[in-house]
Homo-oligomer: A and B are copies of this chain.
Amino acid sequence: MLSQSIEDYLKAIYEIESSEGKVSTSALSEKLGVSPASVTSMVKKLSERKLITHKRYQGVKLTPAGRKIALEIIRHHRLVELYLKEALGVPWDQVHQEAEKWEHVLSEDLEDRIDKFLGYPVTDPHGSPIPRRDGTMIVRQCNALVDVEPDTLVKVVEVSDHDPELLRYLGGIGLYPETEMTVVSKQPFKGPIIVELTGKEHPIGRNAAKYIMVEKARN
């Protein structure tokens, strides 16, 4: 059995690997909210256990074994997020923090029951793909909203779950995964991006728009 700490590190490494490519000590330190020195010592332990590889002063990489575990945890996390929303009506801006705790205590049996209850879902409430039991995961091709040209019809693919505040705002304007909307304009001087959905226009800050992934709608 792996400690919760180890699971958290592996998950964080996976996530940074996906978004940044390189996984540095400081990035991990930042993400996990622990000191760089603590990261170094845990990295040493994870290397010894062959869950990651590590070259001093250069980053860290998951081994296949480590990646498998990371994906199991992420699977737990995302299944639980969706379950809490569907079965218990937990609002989408709260499911993440609950799932952070639940992901570590979910038995295989319960994982299967939840998966079945939900009808073997493919994405969580934020549009993130749910890894399969075998450790594979379908990644959808998409762009950050901030990079889309004005006058484009797009479909929301995925929204980052890291900021509840943002999720509440987006929920308020009806912006969810699978929603279609038009990028109306990008205001100059790093101003907001204006999108139109359900007939209304809404401003979305550039920073927030980095965390909203979309694809061109076929039209």
Taking beta carbons and an 8 Å cutoff, which residues of A are in contact with B?
Answer: 84, 87-90, 94, 98, 101-102, 104-105, 107, 109-110, 113-114, 117
Contacts and interface: CB of A to CB of B under 8 A. Distances in A.
B87 A109 contact: no
A84 B114 CA distance: 10
Counting every copy of the chain, the complex holds 2
Contact of A107 (B87, B89, B98, B117): B98
A111 to B, nearest CB: 11
A74 to B, nearest CB: 18
A88 B114 contact: yes
A102 B80 CA distance: 13
Nearest to A100: B105
- Which DSSP category, helix, strand, loop or mixed, fits chain A's interface? helix
A117 B98 contact: no
Q: Give 8 nearest A-B pairs by CB, closest first.
A: A101-B105, A88-B113, A105-B105, A102-B105, A98-B107, A98-B110, A88-B117, A87-B87
A104 to B, nearest CB: 8
B109 A94 contact: yes
Contacts of A94: 109
A88 B105 contact: no
Contacts of A88: 110, 113-114, 117
Contacts of A102: 102, 105
A91 to B, nearest CB: 10
- Of A88, A90, A98, A102, the most chain B CB neighbours within 10 A belong to A88
19 contacts: A84-B110, A87-B87, A87-B117, A88-B110, A88-B113, A88-B114, A88-B117, A89-B113, A90-B109, A90-B110, A90-B113, A94-B109, A98-B107, A98-B110, A101-B107, A102-B102, A102-B105, A104-B105, A105-B105
